[in-house]
């Protein structure tokens, strides 16, 4: 999967770039060896599996109205979490988020309210924010995966 072409609508372009980044994050975890995939590669405690778990929570928070009690906790995979289970959870959250996005023809319309404080943004703002959030963490995953086993590329 590559980035979207230049001929799409605004919505197609935004969702296309978001999906491209989402897929890159999932692929960074897939095939990564244990225990490296869950081992912190930096002093902050960030791991590839933790990034995927965190982005799952972010998708559910913004698009699906799920509450998050502790953002730092979303970065820590549990002992029973596997690459397969965490990536499957991420892909399911993305699928559900894309169903919500599909219901918006007007990107200036109010996005789903955020669980914790009920604040509302537009769907355009939310898509751009999610591109930024996912892109930033995709870069982190690139570096962490290279540290684990030398795998590079998308």
pLDDT-derived band at 122, boundaries 50, 70, 90: very high
Is the distance from CB of 14 to CB of 3 less than 8 angstroms? no
Out of 1.10.3720.10, 1.20.120.450, 3.30.465.10, 2.60.40.1250, the CATH code matching 10-149 is 1.20.120.450
What pLDDT digit, counting tens, does each position of 63-104 carry? 999 999 999 999 999 999 999 999 999 999 999 999 999 999
pLDDT of residue 96: 98
Residue 86 Cα distances to 23, 82, 150, angstroms:
14, 6, 22
Separate counts of helices (H) and strands (E) for the chain:
5, 0
What pLDDT digit, counting tens, does each position of 16-43 carry? 999 999 999 999 999 999 999 999 999 9
Of residues 154, 151, 147, the one with CA closest to residue 36:
147
């Amino acid at each position: 999967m590559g980035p979207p072409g230049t001929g799409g609508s605004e919505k197609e372009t935004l969702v296309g770039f978001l999906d491209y980044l989402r897929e890159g994050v999932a692929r960074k975890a897939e095939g990564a060896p244990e225990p490296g995939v869950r081992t912190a590669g930096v002093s902050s405690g960030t791991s590839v599996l933790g990034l995927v778990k965190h982005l799952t929570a972010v998708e559910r928070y913004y698009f699906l109205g799920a509450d998050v009690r502790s953002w730092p906790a979303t970065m820590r995979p549990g002992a029973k979490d596997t690459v397969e289970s965490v990536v499957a959870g991420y892909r399911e959250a993305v699928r559900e988020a894309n169903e919500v996005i599909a219901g918006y023809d007007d990107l200036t319309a109010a996005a789903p309210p955020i669980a914790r404080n009920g604040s509302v943004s537009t769907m355009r703002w939310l898509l751009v924010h999610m591109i930024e959030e996912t892109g930033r963490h995709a870069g982190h995953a690139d570096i962490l995966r290279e540290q684990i086993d030398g795998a590079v590329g998308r």
